[in-house]
Amino acid sequence: MKKNFTLIFSAFLLSMTAQAQNAEQLINNYQAQRTGNNVEYKFVQTINDEKDQTQRVFTQRTFQGIPVYNSYTTYLVKNNQVVSSFASENYNSDFKTANVTPTLNLNQALNNVAQLEGLKLITDEASKDYGVHFSKEETSELVYYINDKQEPILSYALSYRLFKENQNDVIHVIVDAKNGTILDKHNTTLSCSFDHGSFHNENLATFNKEDWNWLYDDNTNTASPQYNVYKLPLEAPNRGARTFVDLSASNTTASPNGWHNIAEETVKTRTEGNNVRAARDHKSIGYQTYNSGANTVTLSNDDYADGGSTLNFDFPVDFNLDPYKNWQASTTNLFYMNNMMHDILYNYGFTEVNGNFQKDNYGKGATGNDNVVALAQTGMSIGVMNNATFATPADGRAPRMAMYLWNPPATADIKPLTINSPANIAGKLNVSEAPFGADLPITALTKDLALVRKSETDGTEFDGCGTITNAAEITDKIAVVYKGGSCDFVVKAKAAQDAGAKAVIIVNNVSGSLTITGSDSTITIPVVGLPRLDGEKIKKELINGTTVNASLQHKDIPYSDGSFDNGIIAHEYGHGVSNRLTGPITNANCLSNLEQMGEGWSDFFALMLTQLPGDTSTTKRGIGTFATNQAVDGAGIRPTVYSTDMTVNPAKYSFLKTYGNSDSPHNTGYVWASMVWDLNWKMIDKYGFSPDLYNGKAGNNMALQLVMTGLKLQPCSPGFVDGRDAIIKADEQLNEGANKCDIWTVFARRGLGYSALQGSTNSRTDGTEAFDMPPVEVSNCELSTSELKDSTFQIFPNPTKDVVYIVDKTIKNDIKVDIIDMVGKVVSTQTVKFDGQKGSLTTNNLPKGIYILKFKTDNGTITKKLIKN
pLDDT in tens, 804-856: 888 877 777 788 888 887 666 678 888 888 776 788 888 888 887 777 787 87
Cα atoms in the Cβ-side hemisphere of radius 13 Å centred on 655: 21
Mean pLDDT value of segment 151-174: 92
d(C-alpha 160, C-alpha 134), whole Å: 5
Query: Per the domain annotation, does 666 fall within a domain?
Result: yes
What pLDDT score was predicted for residue 624? 58
pLDDT at 787 over 50: no
Q: How many domains does the chain have?
A: 6
Tell me the C-alpha distance between 575 and 505, whole Å. 49
DSSP state of 773: P
Q: Is the pLDDT reported for residue 392 higher than 50?
A: yes
Work out whether strand 312-313 and strand 560-561 pair parallel, antiparallel, or are unpaired: unpaired
Q: For residue 487, what is the domain's CATH number? A: 3.50.30.30
Residue 839 pLDDT = 83
Is pLDDT of 722 > 90?
A: yes
Helical packing angle, 598-608 and 566-581, nearest 10°: 130
List, in sequence order, the alpha helices (H) in 33-160.
106-117
Instruction: Examine the pLDDT at 247 and tell me if it is beyond 90.
Output: no
Among 84-88, 277-281, 353-357, 669-673, the least confident range: 84-88
Estimate to the nearest angstrom the gap between the alpha carbon of 21 and the chain centroid: 35
* Lowest mean pLDDT across 92-96, 250-254, 387-391, 424-428: 92-96
Q: What pLDDT was estimated at residue 606?
A: 92
User: 423 and 401 in one domain?
Assistant: no
19-to-56, 377, 445, 590 alpha-carbon distances in Å: 12, 47, 78, 26
Residue 343, domain CATH = 3.10.170.10
- Domain containing 164 — which CATH number? 3.10.450
In a shared domain, residues 246 and 374: yes
pLDDT beyond 80 at 15:
no
- Residues paired with residue 72 on neighbouring β-strands, in sequence order: 60
**Per-residue model confidence as pLDDT tens digits over 505-518:** 999 999 988 999 99
Helix (H, G, I), strand (E, B) or coil at 685: helix
What value does the mean pLDDT take over residues 615-634?
71
- The set of residues, in sequence order, having a beta carbon less than 8 Å from that of 105 and lying 6+ positions away, is none
CB under 8 Å to 108, separation ≥6 — which residues?
Answer: 180
Q: Are 724 and 730 in contact (CB under 8 A)?
A: no
Tell me, what's the pLDDT at 635?
Answer: 57
Burial environment of residue 7 by CB neighbours within 10 A (0 to 12, 13 to 18, 19 or more): exposed
Please tell me which residue in 89, 272, 572, 732 is annotated as part of the active site. 572
Residue 86 has pLDDT above 80, yes or no: yes
Q: Domain of 724?
A: 610-750
Task: Tell me, yes or no, whether 243 and 378 share the same domain.
Answer: yes
Q: Which residue has the higher pLDDT, 40 or 777?
A: 40
Question: How distant, in Å, are the alpha carbons of 512, 641, 684, 808 from that of 834?
Answer: 91, 59, 49, 9
Answer yes or no: do 466 and 507 share one domain: yes
Query: Do 730 and 615 sit in the same domain of this protein?
Result: yes
pTM: 0.84
Q: Which tops the pLDDT comparison, 814 or 122?
A: 122
Q: Give the residues across from 336 on adjacent strands.
A: none
Write the CATH number for 737: 1.10.390.10
Same domain, 669 and 802: no
Give the pLDDT of residue 830: 86
Mean pLDDT is highest, among 118-122, 248-252, 727-731, 835-839, for 727-731
Tell whether 468 is covered by a domain: yes
In-domain check, residue 398: yes
User: Taken in order 346, 350, 354, 355, is the CA torsion positive or negative?
Assistant: negative
d(CA 490, CA 436): 8
What does 268-337 look like in DSSP terms, one character per residue? -SBSB-SSEEEEE-TTSHHHHH-BTTTTB----GGGS-B-TTTTEE-----TTS-GGGGHHHHHHHHHHH
Whether residue 799 is preceded by a cis peptide bond, meaning omega within 30 degrees of 0, is yes
Same domain, 259 and 379: yes
Lowest mean pLDDT across 25-39, 474-488, 584-598, 627-641 = 627-641
State phi, psi for 369 to the nearest 5 degrees: 60, 30
242 and 331 share one domain: yes
**Same structural domain, 348 and 315:** yes
Judged on CB neighbours under 10 Å (0-12, 13-18, 19+), 17 is exposed
With a pLDDT cut of 70, the percent of the chain lying above it is: 89
Q: Closest by alpha carbon to 36, among 116, 76, 92?
A: 92
Check if 572 is active-site: yes
Do residues 90 and 146 touch, judged by C-beta distance below 8 A? yes
Separation in Å, CA 404 to CA 239, 468, 546, 664? 20, 47, 46, 20
**Domain presence at residue 516:** yes
Is 757 among the domain residues? Answer: no
What was the pLDDT predicted at 271? 97
Domain boundary among 687, 715, 750: 750
CA distance 604 to 678: 10
pLDDT average, residue stretch 432-454: 96
pLDDT at 71 over 80: yes
Instruction: Answer yes or no: is 200 within a domain.
Output: no
* Residue 326 within a domain: yes
**Nearest CA to 496 among 419, 437, 415, 555?**
437
Estimate the crossing angle of helix 720-735 against helix 740-749, to 10 degrees: 160
Residue 33: its pLDDT value, please? 75
Residue 203 has pLDDT above 50, yes or no: no
* Residue 843's CATH number: 2.60.40.10
Lowest mean pLDDT among 423-437, 557-571, 610-624: 610-624
The pLDDT-based confidence of 237 (bands split at 50, 70, 90) is: confident
Cα within 13 Å of Cα(776), Cβ side:
13
Q: Closest by alpha carbon to 375, among 356, 395, 354, 390? A: 390
What's the burial of 761, exposed, middle or buried (CB within 10 Å: 0-12/13-18/19+)? buried
- φ and ψ at 121, to 5 degrees? -80, 130
The reply to whether 804 and 692 lie within a common domain is: no
740: closest CA among 800, 821, 669, 817?
821
Query: Which of 82, 72, 76, 78 has the alpha carbon at shortest distance from 26?
Result: 82
Under 8 Å between Cβ of 762 and 595: yes
> Which run of H or of E encompasses 482?
strand 478-482
For 736, residues 6+ apart whose C-beta sits below 8 A from its C-beta are none
* Neighbouring-strand partners of residue 737: none
Give domain status of residue 799, yes or no.
Answer: yes
Within this chain, do residues 262 and 383 fall inside the same structural domain, yes or no?
yes
Query: Mean pLDDT score of the chain, rounded to an integer?
Result: 87
Q: Are residues 48 and 174 in the same domain?
A: no
> Which residues, in sequence order, are bridge partners of residue 804?
841
Burial of residue 864, with CB atoms counted within 10 A of its CB: 0-12 exposed, 13-18 middle, 19 or more buried: buried
Residue 74 scores a pLDDT above 70: yes
